[in-house]
Structure 1
Amino acid sequence: MTPPISRDPDRLRTALDQLSGLAYTKGHGTGNDFVLVFDRDGETELSPDHVEALCDRHLGVGADGLIRVVGSQHLIEGRDLLSEHPGATWFMDYRNADGSVAEMCGNGVRVFVHYLVTRGLVELAQGETLDIGTRAGLRGVTRLEDAYSIDMGPWSYLDPELAEERASDSLVLAAGLADPRPALSLSLGNPHTVVALSEDADLRELDLTKAPNVDPVPPNGTNVEFVVPADPLFHEGLGRVRMRVHERGVGETQSCGSGACAAATAVRLWAGDPDALQWSVGVPGGTVGVEFVPQPDGSERVLLSGPAELVFDGTVL
């Protein structure tokens, strides 16, 4: 989706002028695109206006979010992680396209690590794992043959009491739906609200240029995923779903990695099949894989796999 042009273009032009000479890289993971700014020593100040201007698709570079590639020791959150995980020397400072700070981004993590590998900032052979810092905590990223797999950590309910009793905890109404639909809110390090639809036509007809109405709204806002299960849901042991997503602070995106994990989690819960551990999630920008790994304490860790690409380098003039 192309967001509407800013209501205050002069403000964004001023912000871009302040960034003159800033080097950046454009990258994406299954169409979820990012501006990456290398700032090893934490010396680049990026205000919300700066981020919004760079991510603006009319006046700036254009992206769903901005990733500042920074040494962990230069951020409070990074230093806290380093005290327990000294190997997590790089921190993904992630901002939404509107300039707001976000916990993390599943597709962004893959692009972040691909940037580190491509630029020779880390050595990561196939099968090896790199720990990085995010505001959602430590994330381990494993290099695959043509992709990366991220340990997203355990999933959880945003409202455990309601969700466990009813398998839904809110109602969502979006343009293109006649009535509000029940939804389930989950955390994958950031908040998600998942809505099940029965037909591909319902998914196509959604108008996500407008933010869906979620009732009640989670305290920190939420990303909203609209999901259609495949028919049959399982094929050769693989669960299959398709989804579209409206991301808080951004709008509709071509993909959302943590959202894909939330979508697979919700459909798996609704299907009542705890043994369905492998999932394929189709998004407008491609396909990502989701795997559930049961833990001895009864929780489940979620692995997200998919490609990452760097598209071009540039400099703000």
Structure 2
Amino acid sequence: MRKKYICILVAVIGVCSLSGCGSSAKKTEEEQVTIGVVTKSKSSEYWLSVCDGMKDAAEKYHADVVILSPDSETEEEIQKNMIRDLLKTDIQAMAVSPIDSYECEDYLNFAREKGISVYACDTPIEDSEIPYIGIDNEKLGYELGEQLAKALDHKGKIGVIAGDFKQAGHRMRVAGFEKYMEKEPGITIEMVRNGYSNMRVSQKDVDEILVKYPDLNGIMATSAVTALGLSEATEGREISIVSVDAQEDALKAVQDGRIVALGAQSGYQIGYETIRYIVKDLEGEGTGEDEILDSQVLTKENIDTYMKDDGYSHP
């Protein structure tokens, strides 16, 4: 089993100061593994729930977890600097939710030199053997396509507004969505825009889209934050919206009918399972394989049951 170290408090404080919002789960044993985590953002309900899941798992599995987050998912270089700085500290493993899934070799090489195991959570690190903990994004995109086609009675014109395609998760959601739409001859995809990673679409952008594509009947947004902005900006128009992320405001939008289908990606579950996976792996009980978590498509028909059950039962 990999030798475990006690994280020095001064080192943790130094690391946390990099972002101003780092956090360390309480130690419960004299010796325990220390895991560094760098997420994409700290500015949404989804990422806060990821961190909550990690903290709860750290307490259960006697790990010390240091979490750093840039302010937004557009701060790629800040995230990479956080990763490099955290790799210089006394950690045994690192979980990363990459803002860029394709340009990771620099910090992966540094981690190898330091003997630190790296794991991808929420978003895969492409072109690598790094284990991934998260949902099957392509499958979920396919299922959302099916729901949107059903809402449109299998005919109409639609668009896609996605996060940055440098993030493999957004790219895969769109790929799955487009794959399903190949089965729908009565539906045409009029436009695909990307670059809205966890960002609301401005009224100006929406107005521009609707001027250029006035006959849109539906939109697939690859994140709930974007979908919520769209639902506000298109209020009064008959445009069906589908999206991803089981955050409270998006769940309420499904109840209200502002979002017709939502892929329930539980941030809490992803955070919790990431820490559990890493601890087990470091203890020699891991498989080295990706851990694909369950996701569920929510509509007005099943949303109340989901919310009553709290969506994901905390271990």
Larger Rg: 2
Normalising by the residue count of structure 2, what TM-score does the alignment of the two structures yield? 0.26
Q: Which has the higher helix share?
A: 2
Q: Which has the higher strand share?
A: 1
